[in-house]
Structure 1
Amino acid sequence: MKFTIECEDYRTLRIPNSSSQNVKLGTLFVKIEDLPEGLVDWMEVNPRSPKYTKGGKLSGSVSRSIVKTLQDEPELFSLKNLGIYLLVDEVHSQRVPGDRHSVEIELTEPKCHGIVNGGHTFSAIRQVLDSNSYKGGAFVRLHLYMNVPSDDIVELAEGLNKNLQVDDTSLNDLREKFEPIKEFMKGKKGASSIAYASGDDGDVDILDVLHILSCFDLSSYPAGGKHPNDIFGNKSKILNRYCEDIDIDNGAYSKLIKKMDEFLILSDEIQKRCATITSYYKIKNTSNHNRVGSDPHKKPAVFSNGEIGGYIPQGWLYPMLSAFRANLSMDSWNKGEIRWLMDPNELLEEIINKLVEVITELHKEHKNKPGEVGRKPTAYDMCYSAAFMALAMKGKIELNA
C-alpha cells in the first residue's frame, strides 16, 4: 500500500539506543479525512483490535470518548489524542508550493507494517466519517516508525498499547460500583444500552450516564451559583466523584439513582425538542449532511419513546439539562429525597424555546464550537435562569430553600 499526504510540516528523528542505526521516527499532523480508508486492512501488527457492539458501533469507554471528541470538539482532537503509530517500509518527503510537505508512505508487509498503536483512534475516525457526523477541523498526529527490526515489533506494540489497557482495566475493576445503577435500571427502557466496561454491548457509555446524573447534583451545584460546566469533558473527575460518593450513606448519587430513569428520559426529550426546533441549523462546515436534522443524524431515542430527529452535541445538551436542577426541591434533597417542583415535561414545554435560543446564540458566539458552549458557565447560568424564572412565575419556587 502506498499513499501520499500533504501537510504543513514533517520531521524525522533517529531513535537512540535502537538495535539498528537506521531506525527512525517521522512525525506529522494530518487532516483526518486525508487518511486512506485502506489502513483498516493494516492492523495485524496491533495486539489490541477494536471491539464493536452488535449494532456495529465501537464499544469501550476509550473508543466512545474518541468519537465524542471528533463530533463535539474536532478542533481539540490533535491536543487530546496521542495519534496513530504506523510501522512503515519507506517514507519519502519533499517540499511543495506553499512551504508545505508532500509525504509518500509505503507499507509492503502486513506482518511487519501497519497500525501498531492507535487502531481505536483510526476506527473512531472511520466511524465518524462514515456516519456523516463530522463537521471538520480535526487533525491527527501520525508517528511513522521506519526500519524497526521484526524482532522488536512485539515489544514495541505491547509498550505502546499499555495506556489503553490501563483505562479499560480501571473501568472493568469498577463493575461493583455500578451495581446500584444496574439494579435500579432492571426492566426499564434503555437498560441494555448502557455499557459499563470495555467490550460491553451498549451504545451509551456509563460515563455519559454519570454525567447526566451529575447535572442534578444539588450537593455539588446548589441553587444557581455554581454549575456543572467544570465537569464537561472531564470524565475522570465525574468518575472519581461518583466512586467517592456512592458508598456514603445518603450520598448525592444514591439519591440521584432513585430518579435516574426520569433524568435519562428528560435528556432524550430535550434532544427531541431541540432537534425539531433546530432541524435546519448548520452544525457542520461541509456541503453534505451539515444540518442538525440531516437524515444520517436521526436516531431512535434510547430511554424514551420515539425518535431524536437530529444530532444534538453534548455541549448543547448539558447546559439545557442542568437547567432543570432549578426544578428540584432543595428541602427534599436535604431530607434524602428527590422531588420535582413542577412536572418536568410541562416545564420543558414552557422553556424549550428559550433554552434553544440561548444555546444557538452562544454556539454562534463561540464560532460554531459546541464544546466551548458546554465548557463555559454562561450557557449554564442563562439556561438555569430561564428555568428559575418560569418556576417563579408559577409560584413553584421554595422561598425557604
Structure 2
Amino acid sequence: MLTLEIFGVLLAMLMLDVPIAVAIGLTAVIFFVGQGQVDFLAMLPQRMYFGTTGFTLLAIPFFILAGNLMNTGGVTQRIFGFARALVGHISGGLGHVAVVSSMIFSGMSGSAVADAAGLGQIQHKAMVDGGYKPTISAAIVASASTIGPVIPPSIPFVLYGAITSVSVARLFLAGAIPGVAMGIAMMIAIGLMAGPRGLPKDEKASFREILRTFRAAFWPLLTPVLIIGGITTGFFTATEASVIAALYAAALGFAYGDLKIRNLPPILFVSLKQTCGLMFIIATANFFGWFTIFQRIPDEMIMQLTAMGTSQSDFLWIVIAIVLVLGCFLDGNAIFLITLPIFMKICPLFSIDMVNFGVVMTLLIMIGNLTPPVGMCLFAVESFAKVGIWPLAAECLPYLIAILAVTILCAFVPGIALWLPNLMMGAVP
C-alpha cells in the first residue's frame, strides 16, 4: 500500500508539471515528514552529494560534450552523406538513410536527444526537401534517434553501471546487437510503408560516389572503433573513453575547419547546462532510492512476488509494463534512478543476468522517449519540425511496435545481447 501511495504522489506532482528532479526529492521529503521521521532529512544533502560523486559518472559530461562537438563540427553532414550513398536507393529511400546515419552516429554520442537535435535536423530537412510529409519525416527522425543510447557508447549504460556496479564495458558490448536489431526493425517498418505511402527514393549511387562519401566520413566512422576497441582491450576505461571521444570530436571539428575557437564557449555552456540538469536529477533520485530502501519497499515486493509464485517470465512482463507506464511521465534517467534500487534486489531472485537486464531497461526507456506527454525525443524533434506532439507521437506508432518487439525478444532470449560481451570478454561465472 505504501508503495502505491509513494508513486501516486510522485505521478501527481509530475502531472501538475512539477520539475522531475524536484518532484522526486519532494516525494521522499513528504513521506518522511508525514511519518514523523523528520530527523532522517539530515541525510538529504549527504545522499545527494554521494549520488553524483561516482567515478563512472564522470563519463556522462564528456559524452554529452562529444555529441555536441560532433553536431557543431560538421561530422553529422559527412555521416549523412555516406549513409545516403549506401541505402538512399532502397524503397523508402531517405527514411532508411535516417536510420542508418543514426546507427552510425550513435557510435559517437550516446544520447538520443543529442542525435535528435543535431543529426535529426539534417535528416528532417533532407526528407522534406525530397518529398516526404513533415510528420512522416519527423517520426522517422525521432524514432531513429532512440538507437543512440543502445549502440555504444551510451549515457544510460554508464548510469546503469554506476547504480548497479555492472561492468560498463560489458554493457556497451551488449547493446551493439540489439541496437542494430532496432535499426533493422525500423527499416522493415519503413519498407512496408514505402509503397502504400509513396515514399520517394534516390537514384542508386555509383561505386565511385560511395567511395567518395566513405572517404569523407572515414575519420568519424573510426570513433566507435576507437572507443570500443580501447575499452575491450583494456587500454582505457569507459570513463577515460568519454574524454578521448570528446578530444577526438574536437580534433575532427578543427581538422575539417567546421569548428572554430569562438564556437567552444557556447558548446561548453550547453554541455554544462545539460550535465547540471541530469546531475540534479541523479542527486535527488539517489535520495529517493535510499528512501525506498529505508522503507523496505524492495523487501516487501520480493515477499509479495514470492508469495504469488511469480516466475522469471512473469517478473519480466511486470517490469516491461511498469517501465512502459512510467515512460509516459518520467525521463528515462529518472526511471533508472527510481526503479533500479528496487529491481536490482529482485533480479537475483529470478536468476536474471544484470547485463541483459540493463539492455532491456534501456530499450524500454527508449520507448518512453517516444510516448507523450514526456517523450524527450518527441519534444526535441518537434522543436524544429513544428508538426505537433500528438500527431508526431501517433506517426511513431509503427516504430514503437518495432522497438517493443526487439525489447521483448532481448528480454526472453538473453543470448542476443550477451553473445558479444561473452565472446569479447569471456562469460561471467
TM-score band by shorter chain is under 0.3
* Structure number with higher strand proportion: 1
* Structure number with higher helix proportion: 2
TM-score of the pair, normalised by structure 1: 0.28
TM-score of the pair, normalised by structure 2: 0.26
Task: Flag the structure with larger Rg.
Answer: 1
Higher relative contact order (CA 8 A, sep 6+): 2
